[in-house]
Structure 1
């Protein structure tokens, strides 16, 4: 069965021991709560890791006006950009201000995270992390239990750890070796047994 918005919501609801929904247009509390949180949680989880399935590259549109100070050029942020990962080179300095990218790089290109809305395109490990975060965010409204909410946050952090390791192993090992999020969780790049050589 293909991944869908309803399926992701039902994964979250199942973790909470709540009733499943048949449609996001249901009038049930579960469906209303899923509708309230779904898009915001999806975008938040997309921003938290440079997911391979959500990566995109583009040549940036330079704007006529230069920044008032600090940088030589400014570019328009792509409309589908959720998180700017890097410019033309990994060491290129930039800052995002509103919907503009400020940098001193001429003719800049960007690697960024796209706002992926079609669940069919989601990586399976992203689906598990997303559904766990959705459960964590909805737990108080659905169950009224702060204990359940804490359980779901722990589940989410564990799901994200597994997802980051799996996703970063596909051509992005260098970025995970120095990932401060993983270091805070006790995984130290080349020192970890996962990265034994």
Structure 2
């Protein structure tokens, strides 16, 4: 069976020993609680680790206005960005302020964690970690037991450790490659290799 929002919720509910749901539109306490927590927990777990399935690369849109101080340039943060991992090089300094990226890098590109909402795209290790975190967040509402909540948090931390090991074995993140157009104009510093799996 393909991964779905309901399946992930039921994995979490099963860990809590609660009734399973058939739909997120159910009127049951379990479905209402799943609806309350699902999106926020998904995004939180996506931010916790640089998941390969959620990686995206983009050449950033430079904004006309420069920062008042501290940095030379500012760029628009991608609308689907949950966590900015790096700019062209791991050495590039930057800060995220609101929906803007401030940096001294001209012609900046970025690697970031995007907001993935389609469960079919989730890595199996992410699904297990997500379900454990969802169970931890819902435990008090569903079971009324702080002991169960602590148990689920431990399960989540263990699931994340396993997921990190599995995910990191699939490749490593290197610098973003050169842009010939910029190099032809004498703007260097983007001559690093691409990702290699």
Q: What is the TM-score of this pair, normalised by structure 2?
A: 0.87
The 5 A counterparts of 1:1-20 are 1-20=1-20
RMSD: 1.0
Counterpart of 1:29 in structure 2 is: 29
Q: CA deviation at 1:90?
A: 1.2
Unaligned stretches of 5+ in structure 2?
Answer: 175-197
Whose helix fraction is larger, Structure 1's or Structure 2's?
A: 1
3-state DSSP class of the match of 1:160? helix
For residues 173 and 119 of structure 2, the distance between their equivalents in structure 1, rounded to whole angstroms, comes to 25
Q: Does residue 1:71 correspond to 2:107, yes or no? A: no
CA offset at residue 61 of structure 1? 0.3
The DSSP-based 3-state class of the residue aligned with 1:19 is coil
State the 4+ residue runs in structure 1 displaced beyond 6 angstroms.
none
SS of equivalent residue, structure 1 residue 61: coil
What per-residue deviation string (whole Å, max 9, x for no partner) do you get for residues 52-89 of structure 1? 00000000000000000000000000001000000011
- SS of 1:172's partner is coil
1:109-155: CA deviation from partner (whole Å, max 9, x where unpaired): 00000000000000000000000000000000000000000000000
Question: Structure 1: any 5+ residue segments left out of the alignment?
Answer: 175-197
Partner of 2:121: 121
Q: Which residue of 2 aligns with 1:93?
A: 93
Deviations 1:24-47 (A, max 9, x none): 000000000000000000000000
CA distance in 1, matches of 2:80, 2:144: 36
Q: What SS does the aligned partner of 2:49 have?
A: coil
How many pairs align? 174
Local SS of the residue matching 1:84: strand
Instruction: Give the Cα separation in 2 of the matches to 1:8 and 1:148.
Output: 19
TM-score after normalising by structure 1: 0.87
